[in-house]
Amino acid sequence: MNKINLPNGDRITLLHTLVRIVESGSLSAAALQLDTSQPTISRRLQALEQLLGAKLIQRTTHALKLTDDGERCYRQARGLIEQWQSLEEGLGGARDEPVGVLRVRAPHAFGQDQLIGPLGEYLRRYPQTYVEWTLNDHSPDFIPEGVDCAIHVGAVTDPSVVAVLLAEVPRSTVASPALLTSREPVRCLDDLARLPWLALNSFYRNEVVLTHVERGEQGRFDITPRLSTDSLYAVRKAALEGLGVAIVSSWLVRDDVADGALQTVLPAWRAAPLPIYLLYPYASYYPARLRKFMEMMKEVMPRILGARPPAAG
């Protein structure tokens, strides 16, 4: 291959393109993440290969595969880009003034309701930032999907990410008055277990676990849900329709309980609160827009409606 000469800035762009191709898994995904076209990505890859005088990626009809030279180039390119970004921020004065696009994943219900206030505050504080706010109840595959961080409700099972505990969400067991008056009075867990149930399958499917707030005693029983869904809003609506008992985030049904549309069932027995985490991938460098978002989430999350500081220990 004949080598070509390029300005240093263009070289950084080519290296960044290679990293995006590798981590997203395809030229088309890299183009989407870099907000450009697939032909442009292809031309940049060819230019980088010409510049280095080496074949970096073998392309087939079904997959991309790094060559040995490509593996070495990718590893070093990632480090160089992180160092360049750190230098650019430090010398350019951007360390205290976040700029650019922040890509955040948030759970559906919490992300379109409780988190919009903190998100708005972030955008007001840092007017040179832009946020891509994607709602999904599952943790992202950060690097291939181009996600910077995620708000996650529930236990974290991926050991490859940084998980910062921000707050916790209390839950309530609720049912409609019409459902409760049509059945025998609910005085104990056995009575509760005999009622029809709705399941939020992200957190419980076939078994309910409750703890007595005073005695610390734990009770559990099996359920066969009349309706099982991954939507918190669908569970609330089904409960209002009298289809069954549900365990939901307390913030969501606060007004329903206050106006009598729903009733708390056996209030002395409660489901464990759900932890709220901020997740992000390990890296040697984080841009200011991500660092400031992390700082603000730690600051405001325990104070928003529906959340509380995590229990000690």
* Tokens describing residue 49: 């290969």
In DSSP terms, 229 is beta-bridged to 200
Give me Rg for the CA atoms of the chain. Answer: 25
Tell me the helix, strand and coil percentages in the chain, rounded to 5: 40, 25, 35
Q: Tell me the average pLDDT across 264-271.
A: 96
In DSSP terms, 212 is beta-bridged to 269
Which part of the chain has CATH 1.10.10.10? 8-92
Q: Tell me the average pLDDT across 80-95.
A: 65
Cα distance between residue 223 and residue 206, in whole Å? 5
Q: Quick one: pLDDT band at residue 158, thresholds 50, 70, 90?
A: confident
- The pTM for the full model equals 0.72
- Alpha helices in the chain, H assignment, sequence order: 8-24, 27-33, 38-52, 68-92, 108-111, 116-125, 142-145, 177-181, 189-193, 232-240, 250-258, 288-300
171-272 has which CATH code?
Answer: 3.40.190.290
**100-169+275-303 has CATH 3.30.1550.10 classification:** no
Per-residue confidence (pLDDT) for residue 257, from 0 to 100? 97
Which residues fall within 8 angstroms of residue 291, CB to CB, at 6 or more apart? 98
Place of tokens 């759970």: 107
Cα distance between residue 193 and residue 83, in whole Å? 58
Q: Which CA distances in Å does 292 have to 58, 105, 136, 153?
A: 39, 16, 22, 21
Please answer whether residues 148 and 290 qualify as being in contact, where contact means their C-beta atoms are separated by less than 8 angstroms: yes
Short-list 258, 243, 249, 194, CA closest to 221: 194
- Dihedral sign from CA coordinates of 136, 142, 144, 146: positive
Which residues fall within 8 angstroms of residue 307, CB to CB, at 6 or more apart? 114, 166, 167, 168, 169, 251, 276, 301
Give the lowest-confidence range in 23-32, 131-140, 181-190, 193-202: 23-32
Q: Quick one: pLDDT band at residue 262, thresholds 50, 70, 90?
A: very high
pLDDT value at 21 more than 80 = yes
Q: Tell me the average pLDDT across 143-157.
A: 87
* Tokens describing residue 6: 């390029």
Which part of the chain has CATH 3.40.190.290? 171-272
8-92 has which CATH code?
Answer: 1.10.10.10
Q: Which amino acid would we find at residue 8?
A: N
Which part of the chain has CATH 3.40.190.10? 100-169+275-303
Place of tokens 């309706």: 227
CB atoms < 10 A from the CB of 249, how many? 25
